[in-house]
Amino acid sequence: MASGRFALRSAVALGALVLAVLVTWPTAGPRAEVASAPAAERPAGEVRPGETVAGEIGRLVYLVDEEGWRRLMDLEAARDFFLLSTYLESERFLTFCAVASIAAALNSLDVPRPLDPMRFPFPFFTQENVFTLANEQVKSFESVVTQGLTLAEIEQFLGNLGARGDAMFAASQTPDGMRAAIREGVDDPGARVLVNYDRAVLGQDGAGHVSPIGAYDPQTDSVLVLDVARYKYPPVWVPLPLLFEAMRGSDPGSGRSRGIVTVRAAG
């Protein structure tokens, strides 16, 4: 019964999402022009994966590359990477990045898990059961399918699931302040960090996105983003100054800048 209701809601919500995409999809792209233009002619921050960023900010290094894997193995502590990657699942919809990130973070923390009809008697957070009655009041399943979640809504979802979320907006921070907060979260065994950023600033395909952070490398000042769109990109090391730039822009859903949410068990 529960799976049938979910399938019906998914079909209805997916139809709404497809309609929204068809209405808003551009026929040509300034993005396509940016991608084909020489690096020196592109707007600041518009880079291809692996390409050096103007201003010596750095470049993206994917975990599947030798350098990316070596960077992880050289870390003294990579606990969050292994704990989160154990529970990481691809987003069920293109707009479920925050939902998938929430489920992975909570499963990796000491937060009481709900019983799920599809996995009974084993409790587990899923991208379906995070939509409790309380969270449906924050934002319905159908609305999240078409709009995603903002940082403030992620905080509220977490609070209704037995956890605590502390949002930090990039517009009110410096790169040093954001670096310190990310390092504190990654170093704390009882915390996980979710980052909300604009893919376009990284030179990736897409716009606003949310994923967990798996590690911080002080030698290269880079953050390992565990992309929940696993069908699209593998985990990637992003220079922190570049990631900060990708958080500074406004999220159309909230009118505020993007940023991070540090997740801990409540209490």
Q: What is the CATH number of the domain that holds 236?
A: 3.90.70.30
For 252-266, give one letter per residue: b (16+ CB within 10 A) or e: eeeebbbbbbbbbee
- pLDDT tens-digit map of 79-137: 899 999 999 999 999 999 999 999 999 999 999 999 988 888 999 999 999 999 999 99
**Domain assignment of residue 54, yes or no:** no
Report how many domains make up the chain: 1
**Residue 246's pLDDT is what?**
98
Amino acid at residue number 109: L
Q: Which two tokens stand for residue 68?
A: 């990316």
Pick left, alpha or beta for residue 52 (phi over 0 → left; psi -120 to 50 → alpha; otherwise beta): beta
**Residue 10's pLDDT is what?**
54
Beta strands of 134-225 (E only): which ranges?
163-169, 191-198, 208-217, 222-225
Q: Count the Cβ atoms, other than its own, within 10 Å of residue 114.
A: 15
Q: Which two tokens stand for residue 106?
A: 């909570």
**Domain assignment of residue 259, yes or no:** yes
**Domain assignment of residue 43, yes or no:** no
**Domain assignment of residue 38, yes or no:** no
**Domain assignment of residue 46, yes or no:** no
**Domain assignment of residue 4, yes or no:** no
Residues 94 and 154: their CA atoms lie apart, in Å, by 16
Residues 188 and 79: their CA atoms lie apart, in Å, by 10
Q: Which uninterrupted H or E stretch holds 56?
A: none
- pLDDT tens-digit map of 220-254: 999 999 999 999 999 999 999 999 999 999 999 99
**Domain assignment of residue 218, yes or no:** yes
Q: Count the Cβ atoms, other than its own, within 10 Å of residue 239.
A: 21
Q: What are phi and psi of 260, to 5 degrees?
A: -130, 160
Residues 151 and 253: their CA atoms lie apart, in Å, by 10
Q: Count the Cβ atoms, other than its own, within 10 Å of residue 39.
A: 13
**Residue 232's pLDDT is what?**
96
Q: Assess whether pLDDT exceeds 90 at residue 193.
A: yes
**Residue recorded with tokens 């050096």:** 52
Whole-structure pTM value: 0.81
Residue 100: domain span: 60-111+148-265
**Residue 118's pLDDT is what?**
86
Q: Which uninterrupted H or E stretch holds 224?
A: strand 222-225
